[in-house]
Amino acid sequence: MKPAPFAYTKAKTLKEAVTLLAKHKDDARLLAGGQSLIATLNMRLSAPDLLIDINGIKNLNGIAKKGKYVEIGALARHAQVEHSDVIAKHAPLITLAMPHIGHPAIRNRGTFGGSIAFADPAAELPACLLALGGEIDIAGPRGKRKVKADAFFKGLFETALRPQEMITTIRIPAADKATRVGFAELARRHGDYAMVGLAASGRADGKRLRDLRLAYFGVGSTPVRAHHAEPALEDGDIDAAVRALAQDLNPPDDVQASGAVKTHLAGVLLRRVARQLDQALS
Ligand SMILES: Cc1cc2nc3c(=O)[nH]c(=O)nc-3n(C[C@H](O)[C@H](O)[C@H](O)COP(=O)(O)OP(=O)(O)OC[C@H]3O[C@@H](n4cnc5c(N)ncnc54)[C@H](O)[C@@H]3O)c2cc1C
Task: Tell which atom from ligand 1 comes closest to the C-alpha of 161.
Answer: 43
Q: What is the pLDDT of residue 26?
A: 84
Q: Where are the beta strands (DSSP E) in 109-246?
A: 135-140, 143-148, 153-155, 158-159, 166-173, 179-186, 196-205, 208-217, 224-225
Question: Is the CB of 164 within 6 Å of ligand 1?
Answer: no
Question: Is the CB of 17 within 6 Å of ligand 1?
Answer: no
| pLDDT above 90 as % of the chain | 92
List, for residues 219-231, the tens digit of each pLDDT value: 999 999 999 999 9
**Using CA atoms, how far apart are residues 241 and 267, in angstroms rounded to an integer?**
8
Q: What is the pLDDT of residue 279?
A: 74
Contact, 122 vs 216, CB < 8 A?
no
Question: Is the CB of 73 within 6 Å of ligand 1?
Answer: no
Walking along the chain (282 residues) 10 residues at a time, the average pLDDT comes out as: 93 96 92 96 94 97 98 98 98 97 96 98 98 98 96 98 96 96 94 94 93 98 98 96 97 93 97 89 53
Q: What is the pLDDT of residue 280?
A: 61
Question: Is the CB of 37 within 6 Å of ligand 1?
Answer: yes
Q: What is the pLDDT of residue 25?
A: 81
Q: What is the pLDDT of residue 49?
A: 96
Residue nearest to atom 41 of ligand 1 (CA): 167
CA 205 to centroid of ligand 1, rounded, Å: 37
- Report the first-to-last Cα separation within the chain, whole angstroms: 54
CA 86 to centroid of ligand 1, rounded, Å: 23
